Copies of this chain bind each other. A is one copy, B any other.
Amino acid sequence: MTWEVLSIIGTIAFAISGAIVAMEEEYDILGVYILGIVTAFGGGAIRNLLIGVPISALWEQGLLFQIALFAMTLVFLFPHRLLQHWHKWGNLTDAIGLSAFAIQGALYAVEMEHPISATIVAAVLTGSGGGIVRDLLAGRKPLVLRAEIYAFWAIIAGFLIGFKVVDQSYELYILFLLIVVLRVLSYTYKWRLPNRRFHVPSNKNTMAG
């Protein structure tokens, strides 16, 4: 029950974040819905494909789907009234979504007895894959690859669940809270992962990998 409520909060937050990006790019109302749906459900869909969850699982989320559509419709109709405080509570609900979805994704992979690499990838994709597809569809460089600490917390969740450090029900709740707090802290204090500029002048046009 609790996880369902957390999934609903996360779905709404992800759908709204997709809708906002679409409105920032001046996409039409259909683009708003598509980007919202992709942000909310795209990460889970890619995860299902990669770890072999039967695809029908995607289509059993009818209620979440309707909630997402309803939230996006409200945002499209009343953007200024509803979103003027989004920079405050938007980040908290988004952190709840990241944490709940990363844990849920990791649990799926463990259930299917995949190795640790799959568990981590499942956690990252479920937590941040939707946002990556959203950014690609908006013509932007994916935010999670370059700024702030976001997907890293999903990796932590995947790691702890994959190695069964976190296993019991109450441990999963503690992990959930921890990830939410760490994400909010990393946003509030603008924590960054290290980066390193590098340029191979004669390489740029040669490696097609």
Contacts and interface: CB of A to CB of B under 8 A. Distances in A.
A208 B148 contact: yes
Contacts of A58: 50, 118
**Copies of this chain, tallied across the complex:** 3
Contacts of A87: 200, 202-203, 206
B197 A23 contact: yes
Contacts of A28: 145-147, 192-195
A170 interface: no
Interface in A46-71: 49-52, 54-56, 58-59, 62, 65
A207 B20 contact: yes
Contacts of A200: 20, 24, 83, 86-87, 90
Is the interface on chain A under 10, 10 to 19, 20 to 34, or 35 or more residues? 35 or more
A94 B208 contact: yes
A27 interface: yes
Contacts of A34: 124, 145, 151
Given A35-B145, A198-B24, A90 B193 contact: no
B128 A208 contact: yes
Interface in A133-190: 134, 136-148, 150-152, 155, 187
A150 B31 CA distance: 11
6 contacts: A29-B194, A49-B49, A50-B58, A58-B118, A83-B198, A87-B203
